Amino acid sequence: MYDLDLLEHTDTVNELLARYGVKFGIYKNNEFKEQLFPFDAIPRKIEKKEFDYLEKGLKQRVAALNLFLKDIYSKKEIVKDGIVPKDFIFASSGYMAECEGVTPIKGIYSHISGIDLVQGRDKQWYVLEDNLRVPSGASYPMIARELCRRSSPATFETNKLEDNRNYPKLLRQAMDYVNVGGHTVILTPGRYNAAYFEHSYLSEKTGAHLVTGAELKVEDDKLYYVSYDGKLERVGALYRRISDEYLDPMNFNPQSVIGIPHIFDVFRKGNVALINAPGNGIGDDKGIYYFVPKMIRYYLNEEPVLNNAPTYLPFYEEDMKYVLEHFDNLVLKDVAEAGGYGVVFGNSMTKEEKEKFITLLKKEPRRFIAQEVIDFMDIDILEGNETLPRKADLRAFVLMAEEPVVWKSGLTRFSRNPDSFIVNSSQGGGFKDTWVLSQ
């Protein structure tokens, strides 16, 4: 079925991934462990024409989300015009009042957007989630491609596809475009973060220095990197890989020990670019997700190219009624959770669990969304010499410099459990390379 020389080299590629430390960190029983991220050599293939369609839709979606963020932290016209209820703005855990009236350099909020999609059996693509804070995962298919080409050159001679190893170049362009003068750095919470491999690998590949909060300081409303001989080096752009609330203990969570005191003040004065901008979390909110097609119509006056998964907001009386009537056919998601957590399938609950959940849903309707369970198109994975169907999603990346660019690849994550729809690495999932065919 798969005439690919590469498949004979799956073990070799996985050995090479282990050699280069392609791991993610996980906490189990209060203990930190590094795990290898299992790679499956059968690629997800996307035809050129199909990717052109995705590209158009992704650019449109990210453009609308950027306009939404700009609007929400300034005039709030979308609220005034009754498109998005104000409850969905101010009650969102991602909304940050501190960002009111603050415009990031060149008006870009989301420099790197990770949009999660699934493909239904009808071949239709659906957007499942927008990740505008710190989307991770691009480094995995990128290094996998490098190692696959090394393991099986023949595969890449016979298959003509877009080279995905340009991600660091695109990322660097996005960072340089907003740099206000000085070094470009990547801020990591440190080695014990789940995505530390990615932080360090992107740092190596982009030439941006990897730093922790303790290595940076604010002086005279500017951000500096402190070198070992005590010199202060100006930082003009900071790609932060930590959440908004931990970024600055003086402005946000005072308990944070991984942020930089007063960095938000520097950002507010336009003296450093923060990538992505603080406050973007509202765009990740699963409740706001429901409104993205409406945003596209409102801000761009266009019909959305990409569909959302059919979603209901129990916040609305009519939707609540539908959710209660069709509970067993729906998947319910806590809007504040991520990483595959806070997701429950109506049909998997016991009677008691269901009753308890419905009580909570009625009490806090804003906290949940409900979606039709999309019948994902299965993707084959290799198990020994067998191929087995598994659920998989695709995280596509859009990078914003002068123009938005959709990276011609993406992270395909799959569930290793045949009965599961959850593909997250933290829950045991694996990954594949995403091939975008060039012809």
Partner 1 sequence: MGVISVDNADRLYWLGRYTERVYTTLRLYSKSFDIMIDEITDTYQAFCEMIDIPDIYGSKDKFRRNYPFDEANPDSIISNLLRAYDNAVELREEIGSEALSYVQLAIYSMNKAKISKAPLIEMQRAMDNILAFWGIADDSIDSREVRNMIKTGKRIERLDLYARLNMDRKDLVREVNRLAYRITVSGLSYKKENIKMLKELVEAPQIDYYKIVEMAETVL
Binding site for partner 1 (CB under 8 A): 18-21, 183, 185, 191, 196, 200-201, 203-204, 207-212, 214-215, 225-229, 231, 233
Q: Does residue 416 sit in helix, strand or coil?
A: coil
Amino acid at 267: F
* Choice between 185 and 296, CB closer to partner 1: 185
Q: Which two tokens stand for residue 42?
A: 């059968």
> Quick check: 177 and 409 in contact, CB under 8 A?
no
Least distance from partner 1 to the Cβ atom of residue 207, Å: 7
For tokens 């700009």, the residue is 70
Least distance from partner 1 to the Cβ atom of residue 105, Å: 20
* Choice between 212 and 420, CB closer to partner 1: 212
Least distance from partner 1 to the Cβ atom of residue 183, Å: 6
Least distance from partner 1 to the Cβ atom of residue 143, Å: 8
| Backbone dihedral angles phi then psi of residue 345, each to the nearest 5 degrees | -100, 130
Least distance from partner 1 to the Cβ atom of residue 378, Å: 34
Integer distance in angstroms from the first to the last C-alpha of the chain?
Answer: 21
Least distance from partner 1 to the Cβ atom of residue 171, Å: 14
**Residue 230: how many CA atoms within 13 Å on its side-chain side?**
0
The span from the CA of 58 to the CA of 405, in Å, is 9
- DSSP assigned state of 86: T
* Choice between 45 and 183, CB closer to partner 1: 183
* Choice between 191 and 356, CB closer to partner 1: 191
Least distance from partner 1 to the Cβ atom of residue 36, Å: 11
* Choice between 7 and 17, CB closer to partner 1: 17
* Choice between 216 and 323, CB closer to partner 1: 216
Short-list 73, 145, 84, 161, CA closest to 109: 73
* Choice between 56 and 191, CB closer to partner 1: 191
Least distance from partner 1 to the Cβ atom of residue 165, Å: 13
Least distance from partner 1 to the Cβ atom of residue 312, Å: 45
Short-list 171, 185, 71, 162, CA closest to 114: 171
> Quick check: 42 and 381 in contact, CB under 8 A?
yes
State the Cα angle at 10 between 5 and 16, rounded to 5°: 120
* Choice between 152 and 206, CB closer to partner 1: 206
> Quick check: 76 and 89 in contact, CB under 8 A?
yes
Strand partners, 169: none
Amino acid at 369: I
Q: Is the dihedral of CA 176, 179, 183, 189 positive or negative?
A: negative
Dihedral angle computed from the Cα positions of residues 203, 204, 205 and 207, in that order, rounded to the nearest 10 degrees: 70
* Choice between 197 and 252, CB closer to partner 1: 197
* Choice between 206 and 434, CB closer to partner 1: 206
Q: Does residue 2 sit in helix, strand or coil?
A: coil
Q: Which two tokens stand for residue 177?
A: 């475009």
* Choice between 196 and 376, CB closer to partner 1: 196
| Backbone dihedral angles phi then psi of residue 387, each to the nearest 5 degrees | -110, 135
* Choice between 220 and 229, CB closer to partner 1: 229
Least distance from partner 1 to the Cβ atom of residue 236, Å: 12
Least distance from partner 1 to the Cβ atom of residue 179, Å: 13
Q: Which two tokens stand for residue 161?
A: 């596809």
Q: CA of 279: how far to CAs of 153, 193, 249, 323, 395, in Å?
A: 44, 21, 15, 30, 21
Least distance from partner 1 to the Cβ atom of residue 178, Å: 18
- For every residue of 100-141, DSSP letters joined together read TT---GGG-S-SEEEEEEEEBTTS-EEEEEEE-S----THHH
Short-list 247, 283, 282, CA closest to 266: 247
